[in-house]
Structure 1
Amino acid sequence: MNIRPRLVLFDLDGTLYVGDTPIPGAIDCLAALRAQGIALRFLTNTTTKSQQQLVGQLRAMGFTLGDNELISAPVAARLALEKMQQQAGRQLRIWPLVADAIQPDFSNFVIDEQQPDYVVLGDIGDRWDLALINRLFQVMHSGAELIALHKGRFWQTGDGLKADIGFFVAGLEYVCSKNALVMGKPNRDFFQLILDSAGVAASDALMVGDDIDSDVGGAQQMGIVGCLVKTGKFRASYFAQSSVCPDMVLDSVADLTVR
């Protein structure tokens, strides 16, 4: 498929690198795209590291990117909450159930674990237990709304695939009869935020990722061309049964060429 995008969007973990190791050819691929004058943006649902940490991690691996070229789900959540706070005309009360590294992203809001307006849910590792689930059930049953930084089903680790926070988000939605406001991929507003940051229309953009649902499916619903790479969390069996049909399928990001 021949495409000449003005903007290429990249997923991070599993697409450009795995762990702390770049995918072979990924760094050269980005350099070639920049040399052609194509804008780049980096999207991630990672919620265990701050924006600065993620940018620093990529640079340490040899990638070149600007501070504002990477947009994470926590940043999108903060922007959305700031907008809702402005509309409410008062400070919002939130319970940010997120990793310590991104707690400062929500310092402009009142922290209230008893009667929050919103529960902000991210990756918290082994902190999950039945007592916490019941506390969340109680505050949501009393009126708090749920903001999920993403709703991923599973993710790739050095030890293989592991269940992601979509497990808990879906469970809370079910027991509380509420729908979460999902901030990261495949949320349409998240993709629009990225497009707006580059001033590019969806029809002039290409998304490259290893997640057929969040990366490819999320992009295609916006009219963005979706490219699936067979690295990271890609599994042939899952791909075969998916209803999402990528516009392109590549063995690796290193095989991406545009013209």
Structure 2
Amino acid sequence: MLTKPRLILLDLDGTLYVDDTPVLGAIDCLAALRAQGMQLRFLTNTTTKSQQQLIHQLRVMGFALGDDELISAPVAARLALQKLQQQTGKKLRIWPLVADAIKPDFNDFEQDETQPDYVVLGDIGERWDLALINRLFKVIHGGAELIALHKGRFWQTGDGLKADIGFFVAGLEYVCNKQALIMGKPNRDFFQLILDSASIPATQTLMVGDDVDTDVGGAQQLGMAGCLVKTGKFREAYFAQSGIKPDLLVDSVAQLAAMIASLPD
């Protein structure tokens, strides 16, 4: 039986807003959740904007959040690489194939595009071509490990659904016969990092998002409850064949505060 959570994890794009437009009622809903005593954390697989850019974007749209309430996949990757660097005792060589906005997140590591220890793969937009894919194949097949900031299948834009970087991650895994280390949702370490930041266990946490696989399914695997919103990338046919059963299913995040208020403690 679903009970009232103490911590609510919120996906960003598609859940709270689409492009730069807040979902109707989302801002008031978050204020109501805070008034109910809920802790909030914001998490995202977005890899085209830095942590501060994302926080600024949310605040400009009218969302209230603290600097320590948002954790992104690039931040998780940086923390994981720093841990690996401490364990090995040597400076790691990496090839950060990521958007320019988040390249400074990886300045602590030696940059090497020919013999890296790790390739860090994020969203690079229109920069993909066959020559780049073959360069990546060469270094990964030659021994470099692949870190993917996420492995999303598709995402919602103002122009509709678009294929996400999971297309390239899965292809590189196949041709190089290696498994990528996935940093963002649904990675268990990523979720655990956020739970630890709030000092609240998974069993008292609700994850809210528009992706039935990474948001709801990923959270449930760690023991959290999952709420699926019918905005953003949600598609009824895809949801029906997914086999994942959310603990809550709502038309939009705007309904969440009222639904949670009705749950037993």
8 Å contact from structure 1 (residues 47, 74) kept in 2: yes
| TM-score of the superposed pair, with normalisation by structure 1 | 0.99
8 Å contact from structure 1 (residues 45, 73) kept in 2: yes
Whole-angstrom CA distance in 2 between matches of 1:128 and 1:2: 44
Whole-angstrom CA distance in 1 between matches of 2:75 and 2:244: 27
Whole-angstrom CA distance in 1 between matches of 2:28 and 2:80: 35
Which runs of no fewer than 5 residues in structure 2 stay unpaired? none
Whole-angstrom CA distance in 2 between matches of 1:162 and 1:49: 18
The Cα offsets for residues 188-247 of structure 1, whole Å up to 9 and x where unpaired, read as 110000100100000000000000000000000000000000000000010110021111
Whole-angstrom CA distance in 2 between matches of 1:169 and 1:55: 27
The Cα offsets for residues 103-128 of structure 1, whole Å up to 9 and x where unpaired, read as 00000000000000000000000000
8 Å contact from structure 2 (residues 2, 247) kept in 1: no
CA shift for structure 1 position 2 = 5.1
The Cα offsets for residues 38-90 of structure 1, whole Å up to 9 and x where unpaired, read as 10000100000000000000000000000010000000000000000000000
Residue 121 of structure 2 corresponds to 121
Residue 33 of structure 1 corresponds to 33
Residue 236 of structure 1 corresponds to 236
Q: Work out the percentage of aligned pairs sharing the same amino acid.
A: 78
| TM-score of the superposed pair, with normalisation by structure 2 | 0.97
Report whether the alignment pairs 1:85 with 2:85.
yes
Report whether the alignment pairs 1:258 with 2:260.
yes
Cα RMSD over matched residues?
A: 0.8
Find the residue that maps to 1:133 and give its secondary structure.
helix
CA shift for structure 1 position 36 = 1.5
Whole-angstrom CA distance in 1 between matches of 2:99 and 2:21: 23
Residue 157 of structure 1 corresponds to 157
8 Å contact from structure 1 (residues 215, 226) kept in 2: yes
Q: How many residue pairs align between the two structures?
A: 259
8 Å contact from structure 1 (residues 2, 258) kept in 2: no
Q: Which amino acid aligns with 2:91?
A: Q
Find the residue that maps to 1:244 and give its secondary structure.
coil
Whole-angstrom CA distance in 2 between matches of 1:125 and 1:86: 32
More deviation in 236-245 or 80-89?
Answer: 236-245
Q: Which amino acid aligns with 1:147?
A: I
CA shift for structure 1 position 3 = 2.6
Whole-angstrom CA distance in 2 between matches of 1:109 and 1:2: 44
Q: Which amino acid aligns with 1:59?
A: R
Whole-angstrom CA distance in 2 between matches of 1:3 and 1:65: 25
CA shift for structure 1 position 4 = 1.1
